[in-house]
Chains A and B, each alone.
Chain A
Amino acid sequence: DVQLVESGGGVVQPGGSLRLSCETSGFTFSDYWMSWVRQAPGKGLEWVANIRNDEREKYYHRGFAQGRFTISRDNAKSSLFLQMNGVRGDDTAVYFCTRDQRSIGLPHAFWGQGTLVTV
């Protein structure tokens, strides 16, 4: 079974940094695009960033993630990361890791349970 387990969330002061991790299992991690999606308390889903299987393409939400957040992955450890710098109050959210597909433009097929970041 596909499993995604996020960690690294917590309470952080405005302007601080946090590194989120997503450990995966049950599929060949190096074959798939991966994304981070967040959900502020009581609000809807908001895409944050995604990364190609070989890291050659990375995309960020230009409204809030570009320049502050960095997505990366370690295919040898089947893990996805999100480095968050200069955090703000409106970054408070549950951050979900998603396993997408082999090509971009297809559904966010599997989701982790999320990790809560409180700024």
Chain B
Amino acid sequence: SYMLSQPPSVSVAPGQTARVTCRGDNFERKSVYWYRQRPGQAPVWVLSYENDRPPGIPDRFSASKSGDTATLTITRVEAGDEADYYCQVWDNSGDALSVFGTGTKVTV
């Protein structure tokens, strides 16, 4: 099955920059999406690889991709950014059409 790997945790001081990585195969052909899940809440779509973001998501959040790694970057980190972050792609090579990464806990 297709898999996306993320680091389990990232720690960052307030005001600094957090980077969350997501590794997978054939990324050059795939759009990568990012979701934030605050404790006890449902996930929220925050960003696409092309840096499309829904209303209410600040431009402190940005996305990039290079080779087999996609990166979510959060600048000027705030306490409210503390959450689990998941990457996601669509893939038809394995068991699941929509594949989520393993998730990264960002601790501020």
Contacts and interface: CB of A to CB of B under 8 A. Distances in A.
Interface of A: 35, 37, 44-47, 50, 59, 61-63, 96, 104-114
Interface of B: 1, 31, 33, 35, 37, 41-45, 48, 54, 84, 86, 88, 90, 94-103
Contacts, number: 64
Contact of B35 (A45, A62, A114): A45
B97 A109 contact: no
B43 to A, nearest CB: 5
Nearest to B42: A111
Given A104-B90, A107-B33, A109-B54, A44 B100 contact: yes
A111 B1 CA distance: 25
Nearest to B90: A105
Nearest to B98: A47
Given A107-B45, A108-B98, A109-B54, A63 B90 contact: no
A63 B42 contact: no
Contacts of B86: 44-45
B103 A45 contact: yes
A92 to B, nearest CB: 18
A47 B1 CA distance: 13
Which among A35, A46, A108, A113 has the highest number of chain B CB atoms within 10 Å? A108
B39 to A, nearest CB: 12
B43 A63 contact: no
